[in-house]
Amino acid sequence: MRRFERLHALTLAIYPLLLMMMALLTGHPLYLLALFGVTICALLTSGGARTFLKTMRYAWPLLLIILALNVLISKDGATILFDGPRIPVLGALRITLEAILFGLVMVLRLLVVLGAGNLYLAWLSPDRALGLMAKWAGRSAVVAMLTARLIPYLTEQAKSVGEVMQTRGVRFQEGATRERIKKHSLMLNVLLISSLEGSWQVAESMEARGFGSRHRSSYTRERWRRLDLLIWAGMLAALALMIALLSIGAAGFDFYPRLSPMLAAGGWTWGGALLLALLLILPPVLVKRRTD
C-alpha cells in the first residue's frame, strides 16, 4: 500500500467517489460500460482486482436478485418477450426487453460502485482514511481510530479467553444450542470485563498525554504534490464534461416505454464517452506510472 503514499489521501479518496458519482449520474449503457472499463483498469493497476473478485463472490446473488426482480416486476416496457399468467404478489408475469436491459444496466451501475469501493480500500489504508477525517472530526476520529486498533487486540483476547475456558473444562461445541450460547456468553462476559478494565488503563495513558484538552491539532504526513494537481485537473475536466454531455442529452438514456437509440446525439455520444473514459483513466495510469 506504501506506493500510494506519493499522492494525497484526499486525491485517492475522491477519485473512487467520482467514479461512483458518474455511475449514478448517467444511465447510458455505453457510458456505464466505459466507467466499468475504467474501474477495472484502475483495480488491475492497483492490485485491488483480487479483493474485487472476492467481493463479487458474495455480491453476485444480490446482483442476480436485482436483475430478476426488475425483470419480473417492471411492466413498463413495450417490447414484450414473454406474456405469462398472473402470479400472486407479482401480478401478471410479463417480461419485456426494456426491463431486461434496464436490469442489466442497474447491475452494471452497481458493479461500478462496488469496484470503486474496492479501489478506495486498495488505495487508502484505514489509517489514512481516518486521518483525513481527523482534520474535521477531531475527537470522534480518535474514537474511531481507537476502535480500529482494538479490533485485532480483541480478536486475540477472545482467542486466549476461549482457550483458557477450554482448559478449565468448558466444551464449547457440546450441548444443545441454548447451552452453547450460554457457554459463549460466558466468554463474552470475560471479554467485556477485561475490555472495561483495559479501557481504564488506555484512558489513563491518553490523559497522561494531554488528551481531554478542548481542541486538538491533527498530525498528517499528507502532502500536495504536482501529481495531485494533475489528477485533480483530470477529475474536474471529467466532471465538467459529464455535466456538459448530460445537459445536451448525450449521456442520457431512456428505457421505457421503448429503448431510446444508443447514439441519440450521434458523434457527441460516442465521442463523449471516449473522451470521458480517457480523462478518467488518467489518474490510475499516473498513479501506476509514478509509483512504479
Partner 1 sequence: MAALELQLTDLTYTYPDAQSPALDQLTWAVRRGEFVVLAGRSGCGKSTLLRAMNGLVPEFYGGTIAGSARFRNALLSDFAERKIARHIGMVFQDPEKQLVMSEVEREIAFGLENLQVPQAEMRRRVAEVMAFFDLTDLRRQKTADLSGGEKQKVAIASVMALQPDVLLLDEPTSQLDPGTAQEILDLIKRLNEELGLTVILVEQRLDRVLHLADRVTAMDGGRIEYDGDPAGFATYAAERRPELLPPVTRLFVAAELPERPLTVKAARQIVAEQLRPEEPAFAVERKSSLFARLRDRWGQKRAEEQAALRALGVSFAYPGEDEVLKELTLQIDRGTITTILGANGAGKSTLLRHFIALLKPSAGAVEVEGRAIASLDPADLAGTVGYLSQNPSDYLFHDTLWQECQFSREMIGLPTEGEAAEREISAVLDSLGLLGHKDRNPRDLSGGERQRAALAAVLVQQPKLLLLDEPTRGLDAGQKDNLGRYLRDYVQRGGTVVLITHDVEFAAEHAHFAVLIDDGAVAAAGTPQEMFARGMFYAPQIGRIFRGVSAGDVITLEDGVNILTKKERSL
| 84 membership: H or E segment, kind and range | strand 80-87
Residues from 120 through 139 that contact partner 1 (CB under 8 A): 126-127, 131, 134
47 near partner 1, judged by CB under 8 A: no
Exactly one of 80, 164, 229, 233 binds partner 1 (CB under 8 A); which one?
164
Check binding of 161 to partner 1 (CB under 8 A).
Answer: yes
The amino acid at 277 = A
CA dist., res. 90 & res. 9, Å (int): 47
Q: Does 259 bind partner 1 (CB under 8 A)?
A: no
Question: b/e per residue, 157-191, with b = 16+ CB within 10 A?
Answer: beeebbeebeeeeeeeeeeeeeeeeebeeebeebe
Minimal distance in Å, beta carbon 205 to partner 1?
4
> Of the ranges 103-111, 209-217, 224-232, 254-262, which one interacts with partner 1 (CB under 8 A)?
209-217
- Which residue(s) pair with 235 in the sheet? none
Regarding 230 and contact with partner 1 (CB under 8 A), the answer is no
Find out whether 269 and 242 touch, Cβ atoms under 8 Å.
no
Closest approach, Cβ 84 to partner 1, in A, equals: 52
The only residue of 78, 181, 193, 233 in contact with partner 1, by rule CB under 8 A: 193
For 93, the enclosing helix (H) or strand (E) is strand 91-96
Give Cα 107 distance to the centre of its chain: 15
Query: Is there binding between residue 194 and partner 1 (CB under 8 A)?
Result: yes
Position 240: which residue type?
A: A
Q: Which of 83/197 has CB closer to partner 1?
A: 197
Please tell me whether residue 206 binds partner 1 under the rule CB under 8 A: yes
Q: Which is nearer to partner 1, 131 or 234 (CB)?
A: 131
Chain positions 19 to 38 lying near partner 1, rule: CB under 8 A, are none
Q: Is there a contact between 118 and 46 (Cβ–Cβ < 8 Å)?
A: no
- Contact flag: residue 177 with partner 1 (CB under 8 A): no
State which residue, 88 or 152, has the beta carbon closest to partner 1.
Answer: 152
Q: What number of chain residues touch partner 1 (CB under 8 A)?
A: 51
Q: Give 170 or 237: the residue with its C-beta nearer to partner 1.
A: 170
- For residue 50, the surrounding DSSP H or E stretch is helix 49-73
Of 177 and 213, nearer to partner 1 (C-beta) is 213
Task: Measure the CA–CA gap between 38 and 29, rounded to whole angstroms.
Answer: 14
User: Within a 10 A sphere around the Cβ of 116, how many other Cβ atoms?
Assistant: 25
Classify residue 78 by its DSSP letter: S
Cα dihedral across residues 136, 140, 143, 148: positive or negative: negative
User: Which of 24, 53, 54, 163: binder of partner 1 (CB under 8 A)?
Assistant: 163
For binding to partner 1 (CB under 8 A), which residues are involved? 2, 126-127, 131, 134, 142, 145-146, 148-149, 152-153, 157, 160-161, 163-164, 166-171, 186, 189-190, 193-194, 197-198, 201-221
